[in-house]
């Protein structure tokens, strides 16, 4: 129990720091941390709802709650959509990584260790793309959103592929995961394509 509290505390602190760091140049601390609070509240309420009504759906219900939180912040403070979503994606990856890491330590399951490693790889790729995407000749628009949509697309594509293998992984809900993850992945790549075309 103590370990879980410690992990949760560290995860939230890192989430807040990364979210603030991504947006601190353009928005006030009040706007940034209030939006971050909405996201975390959405995650938390999603977790509470899933615990009581649909435990196996905790990832998706929490994901929905966090998504609603970020869009409430965007609408309330008139934040730039893709810039804010990218901050949310990077910050949320760390939370998800801590979930897998805690599960790995708590259950000693290899699949949770692999999940932790995969999330770490996604974070590293995020940082690399964020520094390099403007140099890509085929992404002529140079618009913000490339990194976030790319990571989001591949993240859910990975979920869809793993779900097809039928592996018992934390946060997966079987065949339903394939469809939902594939749809979000497709929407992310379609958004990326439109960003590349826009001037």
Instruction: Kindly list the distances between the CA atom of residue 32 and the CA atoms of 68, 77, 172, in Å, as whole numbers in the listed order.
Output: 15, 9, 31
Cα separation, 164 vs 144, whole angstroms: 32
Q: Which of 46-55, 85-94, 158-167 has the highest mean pLDDT?
A: 85-94
pLDDT tens digits for range 101-157: 998 998 888 888 898 999 999 999 999 999 998 888 888 888 889 999 999 999 999
How confident is the model over 15-35, as pLDDT tens digits?
999 999 999 999 999 999 999
Q: Which long-range contacts (CB under 8 A, 24 or more apart) does 164-169 make?
A: 167/111, 168/111, 169/111, 169/115
**How far, in Å, CA of 7 to CA of 89, rounded?**
19
C-alpha of 75 from chain center: 19
DSSP secondary-structure letter at 25? T
Is 0.75 topped by the overall pTM? yes
Span 180-187, average pLDDT: 96
Tally the C-alpha atoms within 13 A of residue 170's C-alpha that lie toward its C-beta. 20
For 35-61, what is each residue's pLDDT tens digit? 999 999 999 999 999 999 988 898 999
State the pLDDT at residue 1: 77
* DSSP-derived secondary structure letter, 54: -
Share of the chain above pLDDT 70, in %: 96
- Give 144's DSSP letter: T
Question: What are the angstrom distances between the C-alpha of 139 and each of 5, 114, 118, 199?
Answer: 43, 32, 26, 10
């Amino acid at each position: 129990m103590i370990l879980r509290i410690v992990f949760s505390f560290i995860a939230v602190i890192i989430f807040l720091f990364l979210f603030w760091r991504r947006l601190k140049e353009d928005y006030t601390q009040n706007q940034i941390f209030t939006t971050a609070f909405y996201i975390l509240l959405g995650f938390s309420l999603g977790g509470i709802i899933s615990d009581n009504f649909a435990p196996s759906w905790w990832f998706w219900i929490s994901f929905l709650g966090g998504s609603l939180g970020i869009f409430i912040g965007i609408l309330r403070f008139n934040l730039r959509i893709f810039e804010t979503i990218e901050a949310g994606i990077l910050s949320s990856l760390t939370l998800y990584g801590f979930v897998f890491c805690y599960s790995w330590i708590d259950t000693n399951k290899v699949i949770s260790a692999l999940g932790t490693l995969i999330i770490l790889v996604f974070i590293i790729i995020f940082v690399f793309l964020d520094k390099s995407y403007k140099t890509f000749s085929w992404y002529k628009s140079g618009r913000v959103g490339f990194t976030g949509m790319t990571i989001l697309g591949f993240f859910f594509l990975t979920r869809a592929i793993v779900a097809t293998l039928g592996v018992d992984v934390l946060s997966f809900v079987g065949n339903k995961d394939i469809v939902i993850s594939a749809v979000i992945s497709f929407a992310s790549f379609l958004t990326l394509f439109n960003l590349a075309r826009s001037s």
